[in-house]
Amino acid sequence: MTFAPLQPWTVTAVNLPEHADNPIHTEAGARAAGFGGALVAGVTTYAAMAHLPVTAWGRGWISHGGSAVRFRHPILDGDTIECRVDGERHVTAEVDGNARVEADFAITVREPIVHRDGDELQPIEFPLDATWSDYGRRSGDDSTVYAEDGIAHPSSWPRIANQFCHEQLVTGPWIHVRSRIAHLGVAPIGATIRAVANVVKRVDSRAGERAILNVFITADGRDVAAVEHEAIISLTS
C-alpha cells in the first residue's frame, strides 16, 4: 500500500499557559535554571509536529500509528519552527537552521510497548473533555479532524505521561526529553480515561536524575495508547 509522503511545514512555537506550573516553562524559572527564556513544553512542540502525519496519512495514523520523538535542544516562545522531512518518516524541527527536535513517525507501530517491572505509580482517571481535542490547534496543528470527529489529539498521550511525572515524581523544574508512542485506538470526547504507569528505570546524568516510565492508557476500558516516556525529573544545580 502506498501512502502520501510527509511534507515540510513551518509553525510558530507557543508557550501555553497551562504548563506554567512547571517553572521551566516560565521566564523566571527557565532563567534560574540557566536558559535564555521560557522553554516551550515538548508536548506542545510535538502536538504541532503531528500536523505532518495526520495531513499525509489521515485517521489511520490517529488510530494505529505512532512515533518516537526526542527533544534535543530547547525551543522558546515565538521561535519559528521549520519542520524538515528526511526520508519517508523522519522529521527534524529546526530553529534558525539548528535541529531542536527529531521525530520518526510510523503509519503502523511494529514494536509494541510492553509492561516492564518497576515502581508502580498511582493511576490517573478523568473524563476526557473538549480541551483534549483542542490542544493541538492551540499548539499550532491546524488539522480539523479532531474537532470534526470529537476525538482526542495524539499529543494527549505524552501529556498524560507528563502528568505522572509532574504529580508524582518531581518537586521543582523538570524537562521531558523523549517519548515513544503507540496508538492503539481513538478516544472520543466524553470517554473516561484511565492511565496506569510504572517507573522502569532511573538514571543519573550530567543534567540530573532521569526517569523512564511505561504508561498504558484506556478510554472507557478500551486500549488507546501506550507510551515509553523519559524525563529529567531533578535538574543538576
Place 162 in a pLDDT band, splitting at 50, 70 and 90. Answer: very high
Place 237 in a pLDDT band, splitting at 50, 70 and 90. Answer: low
* pLDDT, position 210: 95
Tens digit of pLDDT for each residue in 119-160?
A: 999 999 999 999 999 999 999 999 999 999 999 999 999 999
- Cβ atoms of 22 and 49 within 8 Å: the answer is no
Within 10 Å of residue 86's Cβ, how many Cβ atoms? Answer: 11
For the chain, domain boundaries: 9-235
Residue 187 cell numbers, joined: 478516544
Tens digit of pLDDT for each residue in 71-109?
A: 999 999 899 999 999 988 999 999 999 999 999 999 998
Q: Is the overall model pTM greater than 0.85, yes or no?
A: yes
Q: What is the CATH number of domain 9-235?
A: 3.10.129.10
* pLDDT, position 2: 54
* pLDDT, position 3: 74
Q: Flag the least confident range among 121-125, 140-144, 170-174, 220-224.
A: 170-174
* pLDDT, position 164: 97
CA distances from 140 to 46, 144, 155, 171, 176 (A): 10, 12, 12, 29, 19
Q: Which residue has the cell 512542540?
A: 45
Tens digit of pLDDT for each residue in 14-59?
A: 999 888 888 888 888 888 888 888 889 999 999 999 999 999 999 9
- Cβ atoms of 62 and 152 within 8 Å: the answer is no
Nearest CA to 48 out of 5, 85, 84, 10 is that of 10
Residue 112 cell numbers, joined: 509494541
| pLDDT(170) > 70 | yes
Between these two residues, 172 and 106, which has the higher pLDDT value? 106
